[in-house]
Structure 1
Amino acid sequence: MTCPWIPIRALGGAVAVVSAAIAGTFLSAGPAQALTCAAPPGAPASIVEIDGTTGCGANTDATSGAWGYSDGGVGFADASSGAFVIGAGLSGGVGAGESRGGQLAAVGFGADALALGVLDDPAAAVVLAGPQSQAYVGDGADPMLCEGAASAAVNFATGRSCVVIGTFRYATP
């Protein structure tokens, strides 16, 4: 019998490397281009900021938190029913997330990057996309999609994951 979490552990190293690179980008980002849309729990909010081709948005009900961040891209987060969502778009990328009761992070980095996360059920997921790549995570009934040169998606509730780095491609069955 095989453990269904082994693929997640194997993917963890790749996700950690990509996450560290993205964190470095956040730390070195210039404040003049960056936009942050924050809608923490406590009151319903709908925030949108646009500056040229850079934009962010955050929608939330009183029980949830949504944070959109953009530095030369588009970051959008939509959260309800106790969810916490982060969407970040960097250097031309798009990171968008929507969750009902779950925790979700979607980060798109580079030209033509699209990281899209949707969780209709309480769950936890991470979606990352690099230049010319797409990563998607759906609810428990939806398939995952990782394609391009650098993308990864993990749904911790279902144990499903995929990762693409160059010619390396991996997806849980």
Structure 2
Amino acid sequence: MVRMKVKKGLTLLYVMESVPAEWSITSDVSSGIKHTVASIEARRKMVPSHARGDGPLEIAHLLFEIENMTSAAVTRRILWQVDSNGKNIPLDEKRVVTEMFVTLRDIRAIVPLTKTLELLNSAVLTGAPVMTPLRLLVVDSGGQMTEIKQGALCHAADPTILKVLLP
């Protein structure tokens, strides 16, 4: 269990497993007068055959929302506390403080790029599945482009129409 404590103005919106087949994550957010506390519990569903040693693991992606940005760039402090369910962890490893540097970007467009000229699902007509790699770029008001490499999701109401393969 990991608890994060932040001052008002930084809100945890979403928690997503890095590898959904390997991890199950639940979260709970409670807001107080001065602080917001989020508890994130990660449970391993299975140990993969390619499991690494005792090194760090990427477990989840967190999406935050910043409120009341008074300037183009701000720093927000997050206090993390690990509850190890009775395992003996040194005190200096149980509590960690991080600072998040946040810049305000005025996003003007999200641009999909493909190697083909059209995105037409001809599998319905031919019976042969069509695979088209898709890259997403974000363009801000200053003209800066950034590729979205993680956290991009695509879905359709009918899963037979669109199937997403993650790298």
More strand per residue: 1 or 2? 1
TM-score tier (shorter): under 0.3
Q: Give the TM-score, by structure 1 length.
A: 0.24
Structure with larger RCO (C-alpha < 8 A, sep 6+): 2
